[in-house]
Amino acid sequence: MKRIVFASCLALASSIMVSCNSGTTTENKDAVDSAKAVNKEIKPVDKSVSDFAVKAASGGIMEVELGKIAAQKAVNPRVKAFGQMMVDDHSKANDDLKSRAAMENITLPSNMSDDQQKMIDKCNKKMGKDFDKEYMDMMLNDHKEDVDMFKKASSDLTDSTIKDFATSTLPTLQKHLDSAQAITGKQ
């Protein structure tokens, strides 16, 4: 009996270690896929709840990283300020999500997805006004998707802890979308 319990614990620990992998080798799944695999295996909550939490965490990580780049690299002071707002607000939201996910035993990715990293790399290659335009266009599109996703989660999720996170974060995301629209002059 002790061997079975030990083997189960070892398998779970291996899964968790995979989810924390930085995703730097092509043989391994990216951090988002790894977190989803662990959640699928241990089924801490309804799949829609854990999938939302994983996607929100990955997106939040990307927002912080891009915000750091924009705060340093942008030439337009409004874009610099927007970047810093992303760092501040999404760092706070990420911390909130981490603590709520821990309460629900949901595994979150330690890094953003490979696709999100590619978007950052593409944006980071730009300079000057080209960077500002690329970054703000990304933020506009991303926050449109985020607002829609968080609205849906606020009404549809079955887990109250993660649903409350979506509901409480939604006004901040709407503020980000409104700011991105004002800076870009686009709807």
What integer pLDDT is reported at residue 29 of this predicted model? 65
Mean pLDDT, each 10-residue run in order, the chain (187 residues)? 38 40 45 76 76 95 97 97 98 97 92 92 95 96 97 95 97 98 95
Contact (CB, 8 A) for 57 and 139: no
What is the reported pTM? Answer: 0.79
Which H or E element spans position 6?
Answer: helix 2-19
Residues 6+ apart with CB under 8 A from 39: 47, 50, 51, 54, 106, 107
Residue 143 CA to residue 67 CA, distance in Å, equals: 13
User: Structurally, how many domains does the chain consist of?
Assistant: 1
Q: What is the pLDDT of residue 145?
A: 97
Q: How remote is the C-alpha of 91 from its chain's centroid? A: 10
The pLDDT assigned to 45 comes to 65
pLDDT at 39: 64
User: Hey, what amino acid is at 100?
Assistant: R
Here the CATH number for the domain that contains residue 71 is: 1.20.1260.10
Alpha-carbon distance of 50 to 93, in angstroms, equals: 16
What is the C-alpha separation between 125 and 134, in angstroms, rounded?
10
